[in-house]
């Protein structure tokens, strides 16, 4: 409840209420001037930011607040004249406080009229907006700096689009890159820079849609200059939204990357030329090595054959030359096997076996190979560590590494073989490390070691540091090819006069290895049963020889020159054959395709495939068919025929 002594504003006279209202306003100077511009009233706000008390300032001319230069040009008088003639004066400008400091103001002057309409004075409202001016000036300066920055960039086209894709501004870089002046291009749609085919495919609209959806669009493509010339551009488009989230346009940055693309293309051409040169060098080295080694083998075979044709040759010499031919053919087979292993084209027969047990079984062979001057230490894990790989190729790889270690220690030393389960393959020859379960077989020697340059080349075919008559240079290539084809890796670290360690990594298998008791030996009959065989071979000399050989073994043989002919024979008289003996690589239908067809149409007919090499066999295997590798011996052929006869 209101106290009886409380004075209400409504109790005051009208002019007193106005006086209280004016004095209560502290952020505005509100005062009256007489008709000549002399100050008649003064409020608290005027006193606060102009510094004068009412007693000091009332009666003085209002021009006292103007800077000297504004008074000199008559600005105070013009302000009153404008208010009197136009009914209002409003502006911003510098004013001066009592202490001489300047501040920026917003000023409104309204004329005051008497009852006859004559101007008897002026109502003046002034506000200190120095802070606002500072902000505005900083904004203008920032915009000016940004404009200078954008205009100063010559290597990038930087400009804005409206929401529809029309160009709203243009920088010097855009003019330099695209050829249009600002007057020529502002207002046009940005699709003018796209190629005709990109416009037809809707690429400009797609770019804006992507920018809206993903927050930006970035890409590289060809664009078109004003002259019609095409150039490669890196393009970035960002959507621009106002404070309410409304799309107001897009910022677009384009860079001419034509020279960079040309440099990249030239670099790629140089790299391709280098790769081709390296390929040719590798092919030359490979063919040279193959020719050298095979010529040596063929020399033995040719000379032995010549001697066998001599009359009056003793049985002892005849037997010696026959053995020489047979042994040389075996060495030739091993050479092609090493080549295929290096190329990762050797048909593998993977099986699950314990690595430690297999290394243990090689102990006697290893010791016999390296000789008594070298001490052997074998470290095996306590439990089984199994892999799924070609056991024969694995043994060959281990023996190849052992032989390499032996040759590095001509005066003897120590050889350490360690089998370990590991959880990754380290980074090797620039490849990243590979996590996973692996079994490592490390073979370390105390030999001569190798320098860095030699270490880089040790897995190249026919590269060797040994004398010409010592090795083929394919042993480590075989290890490399076997590791890669088996999903593993081979690493080598070496230091001259200290020694070398080769580490073979193969994927670990968690399946149990088959024991001797799990597999019963196949019982082969002492004699080969006579069967009806369809021989399929496209090479006439090989076909004639194979047909004669099978007949010598007591088989009934018919020879077909290709897979399609074999199918025609079988469709006419499939009951006449027990077995199809087919080469894999033939024109038209391959032996694999033929075997699959036979399995489907005549499952009772057995199939044996034979091949020296086939990319299908290397990539996919023999698909469960019996495979006899060329060149095969009589024992090998007998074994395949007997094995097939039991299937």
Which H or E element spans position 386? strand 386-390
One DSSP character per residue, 297-312 reads HHHHHHHHHHHHTSTT
> Which range, 42-56, 78-92, 532-546, has the best average confidence (pLDDT)?
78-92
**Residue 138 within a domain:** no
Using CA atoms, how far residue 92 sits from 79, 108, 342, 489, 624, in Å, is 12, 9, 89, 82, 98
Q: Which of the four pLDDT bands, split at 50, 70 and 90, describes residue 57?
A: very high
**pLDDT tens digit sequence for 160-189:** 899 999 999 888 888 888 999 989 999 999
Average pLDDT over all residues of the chain: 81
Residue 294 has what pLDDT? 62
Cβ–Cβ < 8 Å for 220, 232: yes
Phi/psi of residue 120, each to 5°?
-110, -5
**Residue 262 within a domain:** no
**Residue 268 within a domain:** no
Residue 601 has what pLDDT? 92
Domain match, 628 and 611 both: yes
Q: What is the mean pLDDT of residues 600-618?
A: 76
CB 515: neighbour CB atoms within 10 A? 9
**Structure tokens, 537:** 């071979």
Phi/psi of residue 617, each to 5°?
-65, -40
Domain match, 375 and 241 both: no
**Residue 144 within a domain:** no
Unique residue bearing structure tokens 């190249």: 460
Check which CATH number belongs to the domain holding 47 and give it. 3.30.450.20
Report the first-to-last Cα separation within the chain, whole angstroms: 118
Enter the DSSP assignment of 241: E
Which residue blocks in 343-435 are alpha helix, DSSP H?
A: 355-361, 363-370, 391-407
Question: 270-309: buried (b, 16+ CB within 10 Å) or exposed (e) per residue?
Answer: eeeeeeeeeeeeeeeebeebbeebeeebeebbeebeeeee
Domain match, 161 and 241 both: yes
Domain match, 157 and 126 both: no
> Which range, 57-66, 369-378, 608-617, has the best average confidence (pLDDT)?
57-66
**Residue 137 within a domain:** no
Indicate the residue among 509, 544, 574 that finishes a domain: 509
Domain match, 357 and 504 both: yes
pLDDT at residue 526 greater than cutoff 90: no
Which residue blocks in 309-389 are alpha helix, DSSP H?
A: 315-342, 355-361, 363-370
Residue 469 has what pLDDT? 43
Residue 371 has what pLDDT? 80
Domain match, 245 and 376 both: no
Cβ–Cβ < 8 Å for 265, 258: no
Distance CA 106, CA 413 (A): 100
Domain match, 157 and 201 both: yes
**pLDDT tens digit sequence for 359-378:** 988 887 788 778 888 999 99
**Residue 100 within a domain:** yes
**Residue 3 within a domain:** no
Statement: the pTM of the whole predicted model exceeds 0.85 = no
Return the CA Rg of the chain: 49
Residues in Cβ contact with 617 at an 8 Å cutoff, skipping those fewer than 6 apart: 347, 584, 592, 611, 627
Domain match, 601 and 565 both: yes
Domain match, 360 and 419 both: yes
Pick from 132-136, 209-213, 545-549, 600-604: least confident? 132-136
Unique residue bearing structure tokens 């007591």: 554
| Percent of the chain surpassing pLDDT 70 | 79
Name the 3-class secondary structure at 643. helix
Q: Assign residue 371 a region: left if phi > 0, alpha if psi is -120 to 50, beta otherwise? A: left
Indicate the residue among 342, 360, 378 that finishes a domain: 342
Residues in Cβ contact with 443 at an 8 Å cutoff, skipping those fewer than 6 apart: 398, 401, 402, 405, 415, 416, 417, 501, 502, 503, 504
Which residue in 179, 178, 181, 177 sits closest to 169, CA to CA? 181
Q: Which of the four pLDDT bands, split at 50, 70 and 90, describes residue 275?
A: low
pLDDT at residue 470 greater than cutoff 50: no
**Residue 470 within a domain:** yes
Q: Taking the alpha carbons of 376, 381, 387, 391 in that order, is the dihedral positive or negative? A: positive
Tell me the residue range of the domain where 305 lies: 279-342
Distance CA 404, CA 78 (A): 108
Residue 479 has what pLDDT? 81
Distance CA 168, CA 183 (A): 11
**pLDDT tens digit sequence for 299-328:** 767 767 777 887 887 888 788 878 877 777
The count of domains in the chain is 5
Q: Tell which wins on pLDDT, 339 or 235.
A: 235
Check which CATH number belongs to the domain holding 286 and give it. 1.10.287
Domain match, 52 and 163 both: no
One DSSP character per residue, 409-471 reads -TT-EEEEEEEEEEEEE--BTTBPPEEEEEEEEEEEE-S----HHHHHHTTSTT--SS-TTS-
Domain match, 355 and 465 both: yes
Q: What is the mean pLDDT of residues 196-211?
A: 94
Domain match, 24 and 115 both: yes
Phi/psi of residue 574, each to 5°?
-65, -25
Name the 3-class secondary structure at 503. strand
Residue 150 has what pLDDT? 56
**pLDDT tens digit sequence for 389-439:** 888 778 878 888 888 888 889 888 999 999 999 998 888 876 777 888 999
**pLDDT tens digit sequence for 117-165:** 899 999 999 988 888 877 776 766 666 665 655 565 677 888 889 999 9
Q: What is the mean pLDDT of residues 251-268?
A: 86
Q: What is the mean pLDDT of residues 457-471?
A: 59
Residue 174 has what pLDDT? 86
Residue 309 has what pLDDT? 82
């Amino acid at each position: 409840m209101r106290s009886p002594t409380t004075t209400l504003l409504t109790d005051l006279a009208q002019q007193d209420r106005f006086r209280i209202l004016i004095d209560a306003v502290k952020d505005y100077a509100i005062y009256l001037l007489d008709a000549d511009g002399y100050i008649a009233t003064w409020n608290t706000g005027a006193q606060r930011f102009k510094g004068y008390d009412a007693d000091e300032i009332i009666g003085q001319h209002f021009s006292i607040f103007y800077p000297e230069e504004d008074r000199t040009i008559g600005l105070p008088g013009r302000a009153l004249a404008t208010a009197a003639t136009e009914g209002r004066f409003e502006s911003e400008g510098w004013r001066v406080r009592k202490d001489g400091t300047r501040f920026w103001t917003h000023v409104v002057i309204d004329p005051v009229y008497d009852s006859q309409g004559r101007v008897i004075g002026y109502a003046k409202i002034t506000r200190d907006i120095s802070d606002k001016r500072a902000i505005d000036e900083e904004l203008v300066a920032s915009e000016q700096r940004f404009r200078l920055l954008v205009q100063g960039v010559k290597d990038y086209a930087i400009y804005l689009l409206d929401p529809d894709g029309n160009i709203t501004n243009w920088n010097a870089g855009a003019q330099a890159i695209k050829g249009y002046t600002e007057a020529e291009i502002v207002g046009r749609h940005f699709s003018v820079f796209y190629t005709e085919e990109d416009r037809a495919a809707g690429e400009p609209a797609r770019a804006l849609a992507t920018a809206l959806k993903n927050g930006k669009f970035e890409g590289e493509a060809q664009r078109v200059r004003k002259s019609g010339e095409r150039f490669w551009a890196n393009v970035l488009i960002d959507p621009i939204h106002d404070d309410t989230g409304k799309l107001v346009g897009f910022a677009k940055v384009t860079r001419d990357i034509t020279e960079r693309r040309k440099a990249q293309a030239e670099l790629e051409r140089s790299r391709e030329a280098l790769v081709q040169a390296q390929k040719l060098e590798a092919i030359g080295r490979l063919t040279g090595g193959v020719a050298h080694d095979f010529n040596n083998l063929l020399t033995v075979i040719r000379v032995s054959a010549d001697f066998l044709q001599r009359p009056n040759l003793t049985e002892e010499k005849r037997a010696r030359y026959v053995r020489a031919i047979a042994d040389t053919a075996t060495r030739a087979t091993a050479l092609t096997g090493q080549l295929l292993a290096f190329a990762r084209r050797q048909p593998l027969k993977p099986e699950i076996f314990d690595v430690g047990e297999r290394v243990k079984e090689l102990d006697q062979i290893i010791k016999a190979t390296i000789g008594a001057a070298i001490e052997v230490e074998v470290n095996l894990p306590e439990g089984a560590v199994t892999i799924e790989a070609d056991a024969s190729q694995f043994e060959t790889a281990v023996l190849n590494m052992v032989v390499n270690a032996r040759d590095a220690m001509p005066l003897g030393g120590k050889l350490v073989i360690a089998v370990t389960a590991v959880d990754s393959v380290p980074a090797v020859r620039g490849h990243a490390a590979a996590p996973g379960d692996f079994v490592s077989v490390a073979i370390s020697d105390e030999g001569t070691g190798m320098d860095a340059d030699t270490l880089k080349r040790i897995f190249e075919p026919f590269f060797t540091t040994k004398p010409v008559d010592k090795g083929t240079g394919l042993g480590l290539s075989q290890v490399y090819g076997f590791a890669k084809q088996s999903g593993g890796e081979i690493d080598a670290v070496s230091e001259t006069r200290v020694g070398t360690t080769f580490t073979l990594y193969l994927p670990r298998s968690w399946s149990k290895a088959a024991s001797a008791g799990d597999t019963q030996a196949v019982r082969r009959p002492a004699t080969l049963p006579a069967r009806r065989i369809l021989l399929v071979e496209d090479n006439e000399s090989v076909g004639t020889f194979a047909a004669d050989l099978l007949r010598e073994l007591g088989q009934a043989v018919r020879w077909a020159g290709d897979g399609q002919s074999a199918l025609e024979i079988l469709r006419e008289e499939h009951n006449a054959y027990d077995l199809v003996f087919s080469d894999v690589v033939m024109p038209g239908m391959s032996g694999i395709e033929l075997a699959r067809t036979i399995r489907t149409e005549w499952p009772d007919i057995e199939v044996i495939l034979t091949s020296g090499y086939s990319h299908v066999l290397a990539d996919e295997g023999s698909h469960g068919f019996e495979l006899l590798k060329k060149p095969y011996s009589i024992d090998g052929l007998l074994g395949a025929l007997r094995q097939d006869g039991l299937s």
